A and B are shown apart, each in its own frame.
Chain A
Amino acid sequence: DAKTTQPPSMDCAEGRAANLPCNHSTISGNEYVYWYRQIHSQGPQYIIHGLKNNETNEMASLIITEDRKSSTLILPHATLRDTAVYYCIVRVALDTGRRALTFGSGTRLQVQP
């Protein structure tokens, strides 16, 4: 799986959009970008994944650059409950059952009131 680089920490004001960047310059053509988050003392939670098109679900939006070397997870209206560590993971999608998730250090997002 390709290596990812994320800033160690970020702050965001409550109600504003949180934009979390991830660099994955060595991504291969068949690798997807996944995002998970981990709220304090809980297990990681799946957020979203994508290949090359932008994706949106009820939790977040994922913007992937045209060259696929970087991506941004967007939480459109951050709340205090979004305070968590966010992990960007690159992997081949459909073998989730055959290969482990490789977590880095992630970005610690602190949403400020």
Chain B
Amino acid sequence: DAGVTQSPTHLIKTRGQQVTLRCSPKSGHDTVSWYQQALGQGPQFIFQYYEEEERQRGNFPDRFSGHQFPNYSSELNVNALLLGDSALYLCASSLEGREKAFFGQGTRLTVV
């Protein structure tokens, strides 16, 4: 079992550009959540996908959008990148109704 895998591991983008981050959940998991972690802070919830729909959303602007595919994998898209979007982006997968969430290693995004 490969666990939760995220790609790419590191990424450098320029202000104003768009970025897509990818996540493959742990085998058998149907729910994917995305978190943003700024340096020195705890992860902050962005949104969660279940059955290919956004089920809940944190306090993030519409520049942040996502998608879940029929195989439960997910993408996080960020448009019009700002310097403040530089962070570690974490994907977590879980199974509906179960208590644990499993996190990937994250994608380190740097906006210059």
B103 A43 Cβ-Cβ under 8 A: yes
B59-112 residues with Cβ-Cβ distance < 8 A to A are 90-92, 94-106
Please, how many angstroms separate the alpha-carbon atoms of A44 and B43 in the complex?
9
Counting contact residues on chain A (CB < 8 A from B), the size range is: 20 to 34
A19-50 residues with Cβ-Cβ distance < 8 A to B are 32, 34, 41-46, 49
Residue from B45, B97, B102, B105 in contact with A97 in the complex, judged by beta carbons closer than 8 Å: B97
B15 part of interface (Cβ distance < 8 Å): no
Q: Which residue from chain B places its CB closest to the CB of A32 in the assembled complex?
A: B99
Quick check: which of A10-18, A61-69, A70-78, A103-111 contacts chain B, the rest being far away? A103-111
B interface residues, how many (CB within 8 angstroms): 31
Residue from A34, A45, A98, A105 in contact with B42 in the complex, judged by beta carbons closer than 8 Å: A105
B24 part of interface (Cβ distance < 8 Å): no
B4 part of interface (Cβ distance < 8 Å): yes
B101 A96 Cβ-Cβ under 8 A: yes
Classify the interface of chain A: helix, strand, loop or mixed. Answer: loop
Chain A: residues with CB nearer than 8 A to chain B? Answer: 32, 34, 41-46, 49, 85, 87, 93-94, 96-106
Chain B: residues with CB nearer than 8 A to chain A? Answer: 4, 30-31, 33, 35, 41-45, 48, 50, 55-56, 58, 90-92, 94-106
Contacts A42-B106, A46-B102 supplied; 12 other A-B pairs, CB < 8 Å: A32-B99, A42-B105, A43-B105, A44-B43, A44-B92, A44-B103, A87-B42, A94-B97, A96-B101, A99-B56, A103-B43, A105-B41
